[in-house]
Amino acid sequence: MVHSCPISGRKLQIDGVSPTIDAVPPLSRPEADLDLVDRIATSTGLSPAEAARVVEDVIAFHAEPVEVYVRRRHAQLKTFGAKNPEIFARIAEELADRVVAAPELTERQLRRLVYG
């Protein structure tokens, strides 16, 4: 029997056994992350596989390099018609609030990250 995997585009081959956390790829720091997966699964009612996916998504989001974040946010905000001075001020504020605070960047540094 083939079931959908919580990781997009993959299928799980399961022969009469229900999927478990073992079916999910290993996390970056197994001991700490598995504790977090267990806590998320318990508190939200998600399956361990779904909780592991959530944890991986959050870790990936916070591991995004500053340069990639700045370019991505600039493109997003530009899509909604925002102008560069407003965009760069907003990105500078957002960077200060990230879990691992980015260095304080001037508008010129932000502009150079976007346009090279």
Question: Are residues 9 and 48 located together in one domain of the fold?
Answer: yes
Q: Give residue 19's pLDDT.
A: 39
Question: Are residues 106 and 55 located together in one domain of the fold?
Answer: no
Query: Which residue is it, tokens 């229900």?
Result: 18
Q: What's the pLDDT tens digit per position in 24-56? A: 444 555 565 788 999 999 999 999 999 999 999
Of all helices (H) and strands (E), which one includes residue 14? none
Residues facing 3 on adjacent strands: 12
Task: Report how many domains make up the chain.
Answer: 2
Q: Give residue 59's pLDDT.
A: 85
**How distant is the alpha carbon of residue 45 from its chain centre?**
21
Q: Give residue 63's pLDDT.
A: 83
Q: Of 22, 46, 62, which residue constitutes the final position of a domain?
A: 62
Q: Give residue 33's pLDDT.
A: 77
Q: Give residue 32's pLDDT.
A: 58
Question: Are residues 52 and 6 located together in one domain of the fold?
Answer: yes
Query: Are the C-beta atoms of residues 21 and 37 closer than 8 Å to each other?
Result: yes
**Structure tokens that stand for 79 in this block:** 């899509």
Q: Give residue 101's pLDDT.
A: 63
Q: Give residue 115's pLDDT.
A: 93
> Which residue, among 44, 51, 45, has the nearest Cα to 20 in the 3D structure?
51
Q: Of 62, 77, 98, which residue constitutes the final position of a domain?
A: 62
Q: Of 28, 45, 62, which residue constitutes the final position of a domain?
A: 62
Q: What's the pLDDT tens digit per position in 60-111? A: 888 888 899 999 999 999 999 999 999 999 999 999 888 766 778 899 999 9
Which residue range forms the structural domain that includes residue 91?
Answer: 66-115
Query: Which residue is it, tokens 């001991």?
Result: 31
**Structure tokens that stand for 102 in this block:** 């980015």
Length of the chain: 116
